[in-house]
A = this chain, B = another copy of it.
Amino acid sequence: MAKRIGKRTLALETQPGVVSYASVVGGKEGAGPLRKGFDEVSLDSYFGQDSWEKAETTMLSRCVDRCIEKAGGLRPGGILGGDLLNQCVSSAFAVKDRAAPYLGLYGACSTMAEGLALAGLLLDGGGFSSLLAFTGSHFCAAERQYRFPLEYGGQRTPSSQWTVTGAGAVLLARDCGGLELTHVTPGRVVDAGITDANNMGAAMAPAACDTILAHFDDTGRDFADYDAVFTGDLGAVGHDILQDMLQKEGLSPGLKYLDCGVLIYDLVTQDVHAGGSGCGCSASVLAAHILPAMERGVWGRVLFAGTGALMSPLSCQQGCSIPGVCHAVSIERRGSYWV
């Protein structure tokens, strides 16, 4: 049974554990700083398909298969997933005709954190013994849906981010030990009034700040209690905004605050402007970098704060602002902390 502590955080009693995780990415991600962590790098951006949307489906499906494979074939009792494409078709198609029930999510780029949060709560609730959370995004499919066809060759602003071609999946189970989910802080929809669709970092930073502060308030923790705190995909611009916001709140993030969108690419040489974004960003960094490093003992306790910008091209064209959301999950290596 989960227990609410403070205003918004839920402490998981059974602390569901990570059985396996997997990531599948494209060539650009495979050439970046995290290249050694991915399970599969596809140099074919079509993933053997004839459209980018079908490529995204194939990438997601392969990632789910890999994750199940790495769990020794353990079939999840349910699957939670979503993506950025209209009507979330790539994730729905990726789980087509599988035996497990599927609960579709839409958390924009926060989908992996939302999936982990829900999986943790549902496992703790007793009905499921294992659940798989997955998500991903594809640069080419996202570009033509959200911005311009690639052929148009539009220029990108300095604050724009590069949608990660990548997928991540995590299989969780009750009482499996190892890396455990201990707390969930679900996010509110926070609107800071940003209307620039090329500055997602600024749009999402206030939501990230809101959730991280709520998590710290509720748990009585702060940066000193974590080895690292990751946001999903604020990129370099959003990272600095959030760093400032946290400092103004009297916190000292120092070098402990990291962003998956900054980590996944080399911002100097890979021409991605402010960094990575997309559902696949935090999902693949979690599966290729954060969880493996935790298993190796680099970090004992991590706060994974997935961030999402809630907009569509149409909502931007209609002059609407871009609210953000951020869901945070606390992950801990069993035995690394004694509370």
Contacts and interface: CB of A to CB of B under 8 A. Distances in A.
A245 interface: no
Interface in A303-322: 310-315, 318, 320
B126 A318 contact: no
A105 interface: yes
A148 interface: no
B187 A93 contact: no
Interface stretch (A22-30, A117-125, A162-170, A254-262): A117-125
Interface residues of A, number: 65
Interface of A: 1-4, 8, 10, 13, 51, 53-54, 77-78, 82, 84-89, 92-93, 95-108, 114, 117-118, 121-122, 124-129, 184-191, 310-315, 318, 320, 323, 325, 327
Nearest to A78: B186
Contacts of A125: 1-2, 121-122, 124-127
Contact of A4 (B100, B128, B187): B128
Given A8-B101, A101-B188, A189-B92, A87 B126 contact: no
Contact of A85 (B78, B103, B124, B312): B312
Please tell me how many copies of the chain the complex holds: 2
Contacts of A315: 53, 87, 89, 93
Given A53-B318, A127-B10, A105 B102 contact: no
A294 to B, nearest CB: 24
Given A125-B126, A323-B92, A314 B186 contact: no
A312 B95 contact: no
A181 B121 CA distance: 18
17 contacts: A4-B77, A4-B128, A4-B129, A13-B126, A53-B314, A53-B315, A54-B318, A87-B310, A88-B310, A89-B311, A89-B312, A92-B325, A101-B185, A101-B186, A102-B189, A103-B118, A124-B125
A59 to B, nearest CB: 16
Contacts of A89: 310-312, 314-315, 320
A175 to B, nearest CB: 14
Contacts of A86: 86-87, 312-314
Given A10-B127, A102-B189, A103-B118, 9 more contacts: A1-B1, A51-B318, A53-B314, A53-B318, A87-B312, A89-B315, A92-B310, A97-B323, A104-B310
